Amino acid sequence: MNHETTTKEKASPNAIASNDPSESSATATGDAHESNDAISYPEGGWAAWSVVLGSWMICFGTMGILNSVGIFQAYMQENQLHDYSAGQVAWIFGLYTFLAFFCGIQVGPIFDAKGPRVLVICGSIGTVLFLLLLGLCREYWHFMLVFGPLAGTSVSLGFNPAISIVAHYFNKNRGFATGVASSGASFGGVIFPLLFQGVASKVGFVWATRAISLLTMVAFIFGIILVRPRTPSKNRAAIRAVLFDLSAFRDTRLMLASMGIFFMEWGLFGPITYLTSYALAHGTSSGFAYLLLSLVNLASIFGRLIPGYCADRIGRFNTLIITIFACLLVVSCLWVTAGASHEMMLAFALLFGFASGSNVSLAPVCVGQLCRLEAYGRYYATAYAVVSISCLTAIPIAGAILTQCDGEYWGLIAFTAVSYGASLLCLVGTKIFCCKENSILAIF
pLDDT attached to residue 377: 64
Position 351 scores a pLDDT of 95
pLDDT at 2 over 70: no
pLDDT recorded at residue 266: 93
Its pTM stands at 0.76
Quick: pLDDT tens for 396-411: 899 889 989 888 899 9
Tell me the mean pLDDT in the region 273-288. 89
> Is residue 263's pLDDT more than 60?
yes
Distances (CA, A) of 41 to 16, 56, 165: 12, 20, 12
DSSP string, 283-350: T--HHHHHHHHHHHHHHHHHHHHHHHHHHHHH-HHHHHHHHHHHHHHHIIIIIHHHTT-HHHHHHHHH
Q: Where are the alpha helices (DSSP H) in 228-251?
A: 238-241
Mean pLDDT to the nearest integer, 187-212: 90
Most confident listed range (113-122, 124-133, 353-362): 124-133
* Whole-number pLDDT of residue 358: 80
- Report, as an integer, the average pLDDT of 337-341: 90
Of all residues in the chain, the percent with pLDDT exceeding 70 is 84
Per-residue confidence band for 426, with pLDDT thresholds at 50, 70 and 90? very high
CA nearest neighbour of 66 among 214, 216, 169, 188: 188
pLDDT in tens, 157-178: 998 888 888 888 887 887 788 8
* 220 pLDDT above the threshold of 60: yes
**Which of 304 and 119 is assigned the larger pLDDT?**
119
Average pLDDT over residues 127-146: 92
Helix (H) or strand (E) holding 39: strand 39-41
Can you give the pLDDT at residue 35? 39
**pLDDT band for position 439 (50/70/90)?**
low
Does residue 23 register a pLDDT over 60? no
Q: For residues 98 and 302, is the Cβ–Cβ distance under 8 A?
A: no
Residues 2, 133: Cα–Cα separation, whole Å: 45
Residue 2 or residue 235, greater confidence:
235
Across the range 386-402, mean pLDDT stands at 88
More confident position, 390 or 244? 390
| pLDDT for the residue numbered 87 | 82
Residue 331 is predicted with a pLDDT of: 95
Q: Reduced to 3 states, what is the DSSP secondary structure of residue 437? A: coil
Residue 19, pLDDT score: 36
pLDDT score for 20: 40
Query: 161-165, 275-279, 349-353: which has the minimum mean pLDDT?
Result: 161-165
In a 10 Å sphere around its CB, with 0-12 CB exposed, 13-18 middle and 19+ buried, how is residue 336 labelled?
middle
What integer is the mean pLDDT of 19-39? 38
Q: What's the chain's average pLDDT?
A: 82
Instruction: Tell me what pLDDT residue 8 has.
Output: 38
What does the pLDDT average to over 123-138? Answer: 93
What domains does the chain contain, in order, with CATH numbers?
40-229+248-435 (1.20.1250.20)
State the pLDDT at residue 354.
Answer: 93
Residue 37 scores a pLDDT above 60: no
Mean pLDDT of 309-314: 85
Task: Please answer whether residues 106 and 98 qualify as being in contact, where contact means their C-beta atoms are separated by less than 8 angstroms.
Answer: no
Percentage of the chain with pLDDT > 90?
A: 33
Task: Let me know: does 359 contact 419? Beta carbons within 8 Å.
Answer: no
